[in-house]
Structure 1
C-alpha cells in the first residue's frame, strides 16, 4: 500500500453542514455525512485499509497533478496530466441558499476530458460509523443504494456502475470535451436513488458558484493580500454549521501533531474560544450575518446551563457539539490512525476542563457585535451580566489554560488576561448603551486583575510576562496584550516581553505556543500557526512593520497549495494537526488587516 498523502495534500469542499477532504490524487478520504460531528463514511485518512474512501483518477499512470479552487468559491478542481492526455475533476457540495430548509446534501464529482483520450476509474468504498460497518449495496433504477448504520446514500452517474462486495466501481473513457458525472446523495428513510442531481449538475454548479461569489462580495477587505484573506474567509464559512449558527474548530479528528505521537484530538466541535475569535475575524471583514447567527447559538447555550449547575466549571463549557451537548471522549482502537499515529479519538475530554480564558474571548466577540452589528438584546445582556458576575467571583482560580493542558491546574497569565477582557468589555457595553449593571464591583475586579498580572506574572529577571504567576516559562499567548488593549505596545514591558519570546519561542518567524516539553505529553509538537500570526500582529503594533511584513509573507509560504492551514508546522516544515484549522485562518485575517492599516498609515 502506498504512503498516505500528507495532511496538507488536500483541498476542502463543503455545504455549510459538513465538509469533505479531497486529496491531490482525486480521493475523498474524509467525509462525515449530514453534519461535521457525525460518524465518518470515508475515513481513509485515519486508516487507508479500513477507513473507506471514494477514488476518482486516471486508470493509467499520472505524470503530475494540480489542484486549485475555481476563483472565489469552494469548488475544487483537480487536474491530472498523463502521457495520454489531461483530465479535470470538479468536486463540490451544492449550496444554493444557505438557509434552504429543503437542502439535499450531495457530493458531486464532474470529470472532464481536457485533451487527448483518458480512461478514468472510480471506486467507492463507504464504511459507515467510523468504519465499524461496511455498506450494503443494491442496484436500483437510477443507480446504487448504499445502506448501513442507519444511513442511506444513493450513487447515480452518467457511467455504468458495477457493484461487488459492497464496493461500487466504474470505468469511463473520455475524449477532449467529454464529461462524466458521479453524484452521492444523502437520502432520507423513504427516499430512493434518483438521477435528478446528475441531470441538473450544470445548474447545481452554476448556483453554487453564484452563492460563493455573492457571499464573498459582502467582504469589506480591499488590502494587499485579498486572495489569501478571502480564501481564509471562505474556509471559516465552510466551518460554519448554517442551520444552527455553530462554528466548528476543524472538520477532522485525530490528525496528529506530531506524526507518530498521541496528541490526537477531535476538533469537530464548537470551541467557545475558537468560535469567538472566528466571529471577530468575520466581523472585521463585514460578515455580520454569521456573527449574528453565532451570537444566537451562544445565547441558547447561556440560556440552558444545566450542565454547569454545580458552579464548578462556570456558566459555559469549553466546547459543545453542534446541538449544545457535551461530547464524551472515546477511542476507536480498530483504526490505525494517520500514519499509525494512534489512538484515534472521537469526542473531547476538554469539555470537562475549567478554562477561564473562554469568557474573555466570547464577551469580546459580543462587544464587537454590539459595536459593529445591530446590538445585543435585553435577554442577551442579562446572560452576559450573569457570566461576568461569575467571572468576578472566580477569576483567580487555577485552571487548564487556553492551551488545554491535561495536567494539574495552574494560575495561567492568559487566563487572568482574558478574565480582565471579559469584565472590561462588559463595562464598555454597559456604558455605551446605558445598560444596567454593577459597574462599581466590575471595575474593582478588573483593576485587581490588572494589578495581579503586572505584579505576579511579570518576571523582572526575564523582563517578560510569564506563562503562570511567579513562573519563569514563557507563553506566546501574552502577545495578545496590546491587541486586547490591556497594555500599550509602547509600554516598555511589552517590547521586552516580545524580545524574550523571540529569544525562546521563535524560530525564524515560526512561534511555539510555549517552551517545548513543558506540557507533560509525549512527543515534540511543532510551532503553533495561530501564534505565528499573533507574532506578526505584535510586531505590527510594536511599529516593526518591515519585520512584520516579512514574517507574514513567510507564513503565507507555509499554506498548502490551495491556501489552507493546519494547526501546526512541524520541524520539517510540514503541516500537522487537524486540518484545516479555524483559528489559524482567523489569526491570518486579523494579522493581515492590521498590518495593512499600519502600512497605510492608519
Structure 2
C-alpha cells in the first residue's frame, strides 16, 4: 500500500534528491541527476522496485521528524519501548562546499538518544526504475553494486548479509552511539571515492545551508509562521535547482497522480519556461539575486536558436528531446497507471511561453541581471516570430491533449510579450519597431475582449467561443492586461469564486466542462489558490487574502512541503512532490500580503497600469557596452 504523499520528506544536493518516508524508507532516488533513472522506485511500486529502509526492528510507539533549522537535512526520531533513536538523512553538497566535489551521495546517521534500540536495515538496489537487479559484491567497507553504466558503493561498519536479492542488517544503538551509512554513486568505469568523516560532512553541509537561508529577506512585520513558511519554501526551491546550469525542476518526481488510481501522471523533472517570471520575482524579492541570475542565464541558453523552435520546457542542461515513454513493470503510486517518464508536452505549442519569457527578461533587466545585449537580441527575434503566430491556436497553459484551441490566457500572454517589449524601449532607451509592437498589442487586446470575454456573464472565458472558466484568468490584472478595478476583472474573479472554488480551494478548470483529452478528475491546483489570494490583494480584499493564505499554509505537511494539488475532501496532497509552482506561489503571496508593492503589483505596474519612475534604473543603452 502506498504511503500518503505528504508522509514523505525531501532531501537534496542541488543536483538530485531523495524522498524519505516517515517510516525511515527512502523510496525515490535518482542519481546522479534529478532526471536520471531511479535506483529506488518504491514510490511508484513496491519495495521490490528499490528502497532503503532504516528503522527500529520492533514496534514503534511514536515518530517525530523535523528539518535541522535552515537546512533540508531531515531528522526522524523513533521511540520504542526500549528507548529512542534518530536517523539523520542528508545529501552532501559538491563544488565549493565540499573540497572533493562530491555530488552523488546519501548519508544516513543513526544515533542513540535514550536506552537501547534494535535497528533493522533493508537495502534493495534496483536500477532502471526498479527493473534492473545489479551485480553486488562484498567489500571490506560494505558492498559495491554495478549495473551497466551505473555503480554505487555502500559504506558502513555494520555487518551486512544477502537475502532474497536484498541486503539486510540488524544492529543496535545505545545512548550516545552513532552508526553511519553512506551510499555513493559513480559511473561504473570510474574509481569510487569515499567519505572519511560523516559528522564533519554533516556540519559542513548544515553550515552552508544555514548561511544561505539566513540571507532571506522578508518585510517586517511578518508573522513568524509566515516567515518560516517562506524560508522553508525557498530552501526547497534551492534544493530543487540544478547548480551546474541554474535550471529549476518543476518537481523532482515523476508520475505521482493528480487523481488516485487515475491516468493523469506526468514526469516533472524538467524546467518549464512558464515558471520563469514568478520564480524570478520570488528570488529577487527574497534577496537571492545570484540564484535569479543563474536561472535567467539558463533561460537565455535554453531558448537560444530559432525562435520558431522554442519549447515550453527543457532538460536540466537545456536538452530538447524529452521523449515520453511508459514503464509497464511499475504498478504506479496507489495503482495509478500508466507510469510515464519523459514528457510529451515538450513538443506542444503553448503561446503563453512567449509572454512568460519576455516578462522574465524584462524583470531581469529591471533587477540589473545581465548580460543585457544578448537578452534584447533574443527578445527582438521572439517578437518577430510572434507577430503572426499569436493568431494561431495552441494547447494552452495546462498542456491539454484534446486538440488546439484559442485559449484566452495564451492570447493574454502574447499581449504581455509585446507590452514588455514596448516598455523596454520606453524605459531603457532600447531600439525596436515599437510602433509595430503597439499595433500588435492593441490588436491582441481587442481580439481578446471581443472573443474571450462573455459580456452576458461579465467574465473572461477559457477559450474563444467557450463558456468554461479557467483559473489562469485570475492573472489578468497581475500581468497588467486589465486593471484590478476594471469591472471585467472583478467579474472574472467573482465567476471563478462561484464556479471553480471547491471546499475553499481553486480548481484549474472543471474537467466535466472543459475537454482536455484526458479521462478522470483531479484535485484542486494549489498555485491557483495562491493566485486567488493575490487577486484578493489587488482588489483590496485583504481579509479574504489572509484567510486563504492561512488555509493554504495548513495544507503543507509537517515539514512545510507542498505537492501540486490537494484533495480537500480526503485531506490528501496529490501530484508531483514537492512542487516548485506551489512553493513559488507561497513565497510570492507572502510578499504580496506584506508589501504594498509585492510581486502582483510589481508585475501589474509593468503592464497596462501606470509605471512609476525609477531614477535609480540605468538605461540598458548605456550598459550594453559592458557585455
Q: Could you say which residue in structure 1 is the equivalent of 2:169?
A: 170
Structure 1 segment 507-526 matched on structure 2, within 5 A: 507-517=502-512, 518=514, 519-526=516-523
> What residue is the counterpart of 2:528 in the other structure?
531
- Superposed, which structure 2 residues align to 1:168-567 within 5 Å? 168-189=167-188, 191-192=190-191, 196-197=194-195, 199-222=196-219, 223-224=222-223, 225-305=226-306, 314-323=308-317, 324-517=319-512, 518=514, 519-567=516-564
What is the TM-score when the length of structure 1 is the normalising length?
A: 0.95
* Structure 1 runs not aligned, ≥5 long: 309-313
Inter-CA distance 575–449: structure 2 relative to 1 (3 Å threshold) = same
CA separation of 1:98 and 1:459: change in aligned 2, threshold 3 A: farther
Q: What are the Cα deviations for residues 67-123 of structure 1, in whole angstroms up to 9, with x where unaligned? A: 211111010111112121111110000126468783332100001111111011111
- Report the CA distance shift for 1:135/1:172 in structure 2 as closer, same or farther (over 3 A): same
**In 2, Cα distance between the equivalents of 1:164 and 1:470?**
63
How far apart are residue 275 of structure 1 and its match?
4.0
Cα distance in 2 for residues equivalent to 1:374 and 1:128: 41
Contact 2:142 2:154 in 1 (8 A): yes
CA offset at residue 475 of structure 1? 0.6
1:44 alignment partner in structure 2 = 42
Aligned residues of 1:16 and 1:98 also touching (Cα < 8 A): no
Q: Distance in 2 between matches of 1:454 and 1:214?
A: 49
Task: Please give the residue correspondences for 1:4-23 in structure 2 after superposition, counting only pairs within 5 Å.
Answer: 4-23=2-21
1:168-206 C-alpha deviation (Å, 9 max, x unpaired) = 222221111111110001124455556x42x31111111
What are the residue-to-residue correspondences of 1:77-226 with 2, within 5 Å? Answer: 77-95=75-93, 97=95, 102-189=101-188, 191-192=190-191, 196-197=194-195, 199-222=196-219, 223-224=222-223, 225-226=226-227
- SS for the counterpart of 2:5 is coil
Q: Secondary structure at the match of 1:553?
A: helix
For residues 342 and 31 of structure 1, the distance between their equivalents in structure 2, rounded to whole angstroms, comes to: 20
Q: Give the distance between the partners of 1:541 and 1:98, measured in 2 at CA.
A: 42
Shift of 1:492: 1.4
Instruction: Report the counterpart of residue 579 of structure 2 in structure 1.
Output: 581
The answer (yes or no) to whether the contact 2:48–2:124 under 8 Å persists in 1 is no
Aligned match of 2:53: 55
Question: Which deviations, in whole Å up to 9, do the C-alpha atoms of 1:450-508 show, x marking residues without a partner?
Answer: 12222221111211111112321111111111111221111111112111111100124
Task: Encode CA deviations 1:542-572: one digit per residue, 9 max, x unaligned.
Answer: 1111111011001111111111111111241
Worse-superposed segment, 353-362 or 515-524: 515-524
**Distance in structure 1 (CA, Å) of the matches to 2:103 and 2:6:** 29
Do the aligned residues in 2 keep the contact of 1:98 with 1:242 (CA within 8 Å)? no
Q: Which moved more, 1:496-505 or 1:433-442?
A: 433-442
SS in 2 for 1:138: strand
Secondary structure at 2:251's aligned position in 1? coil
Q: Is the 8 A contact 1:219 1:286 kept in 2?
A: yes
Indicate conservation of the 8 Å contact 2:459/2:488, yes or no. yes
Q: Quote the residue 1:311 is aligned against.
A: none
Matches within 5 A, 1:22-33: 22-33=20-31
- 1:229 aligned counterpart, secondary structure: helix
Contact map agreement 2:311 2:320 (CA 8 A) in 1: no
